[in-house]
Amino acid sequence: MIPFTFARATSPEDALGLAALEGHRLLGGGTNLVDLMRKGVEHPVTLVDVTALSSDISETAQGGLLIGGATRNTALAAHPLVRTRYPVLSRAILAGASAQIRNMATVAGNILQRSRCAYFNDPAASRCNKRLPGSGCDAREGLNRYHAILGGSASCISAHPSDMCVALVALDAQVHLLGLAGARTVPLAEFYRLPGETPQIETVMAPGEIITAIELPPLPVAARSAYRKVRDRASYAFALVSVAACASVQDGVLTELRLAFGGIAPKPWRALRAEQALLGGPVTRDAVFAAMDLELAEAAPLAGNAFKLELARRTAFAVLADLTGETA
């Protein structure tokens, strides 16, 4: 690890001033950033510890939740209001990483965590356009079992690794940002950029902006929600495919539906096309598969990950069938 200096931010304004400086990176739990520094992927001049910023979880006037960016993953998953009103979020967080890592990792850090692509994480021997723009992508012809089938580009097919964010995008979470130009709010669904020709630019954050909080809207349908993660071992592994869903059924037809996927795209993937196709109809295998075919119409699978097309269809049906009590 190359030398760096260490600073602490005690207020959002404090963090803001430091975040805007050249080579400064914000440090939450460090579960990703410290590892990337040791591997030589990240080389900040200064780390700014922001774990003293807000870790409050409070109800908003509208009946939603405001979650401080420094909230630890465990604290969010275990919060009584999250467990009862947004169970999909608890389940998704608990599906990720290990208990030790969830105790350390912050919510803002989870959102801003970086790719687990083996080639991104291997500066000594691999080409990666995200790590070194223009150097090439070794994943396209290499090991791409964990990579994206949707939303990737010729330059990058890295999949977003977060479980938490899949639930957040299904819940219409908003990201509260603070920058030198002021505060603004961006829906998480519009927060990430697809790689295109610039995979090194991952979000819409302006230089120096920081995440201060995440806001969940009041969402009664979320009380009936689920998260299912399919992976290579039963626990402590990244998703091959994961599904977050909230659903409400009346008289045998879906009256409300939120559906999002992890493991298949460079960002947590809200399946709006599939939602539209399914609303107003019953949850049957045929209906879910047809809706998923619409969602996956532009999929560009590769040698190692084409299985995700079928896995995504089947997992979506399994989750929706469980959630709505259908057995067909």
Shortest gap between Cβ of 201 and other proteins (angstroms)? 26
What is d(CA 95, CA 228) in angstroms, rounded to the nearest whole number?
8
Q: Which is nearer to other proteins, 72 or 147 (CB)?
A: 72
Q: Which is nearer to other proteins, 74 or 203 (CB)?
A: 74
Ramachandran angles phi, psi of 232, nearest 5°: -75, -15
Shortest gap between Cβ of 33 and other proteins (angstroms)? 9
Q: Which is nearer to other proteins, 31 or 248 (CB)?
A: 31
Instruction: Return the structure tokens found at 241.
Output: 């495919």
Q: ∠ CA 101-194-279 to the nearest 5 degrees?
A: 90
How many CA within 13 A on the CB side of residue 206? 14
Shortest gap between Cβ of 191 and other proteins (angstroms)? 25
Which residues contact other proteins by CB under 8 A?
A: 1, 3-6, 27, 29-31, 34-35, 38-39, 47, 49, 51, 74, 77-78, 83-84, 87, 90-91, 94-95, 97-101, 103-104, 229, 234-236
Shortest gap between Cβ of 37 and other proteins (angstroms)? 8
Taking alpha carbons only, the member of 197, 113, 156, 125 closest to residue 302 is 156
Ramachandran angles phi, psi of 57, nearest 5°: -120, 115
Q: Which is nearer to other proteins, 30 or 304 (CB)?
A: 30
Q: Which is nearer to other proteins, 86 or 191 (CB)?
A: 86
Shortest gap between Cβ of 214 and other proteins (angstroms)? 20
Shortest gap between Cβ of 63 and other proteins (angstroms)? 19
- The gap between the terminal CA atoms of the chain, to the nearest Å, is 55
Long-range pairs for 185-189: beta carbons < 8 A, 24 or more residues apart: 185/215, 188/111, 188/214, 188/268, 189/270
Instruction: Return the structure tokens found at 120.
Output: 């991104």
Q: Residue 70, SS3?
A: coil
Q: Which is nearer to other proteins, 81 or 328 (CB)?
A: 81
Shortest gap between Cβ of 24 and other proteins (angstroms)? 13
Q: Which is nearer to other proteins, 116 or 193 (CB)?
A: 116
**Positions of E strands within the chain:** 5-8, 24-27, 46-49, 57-59, 65-68, 174-179, 182-187, 210-216, 225-230, 241-250, 253-262, 269-270
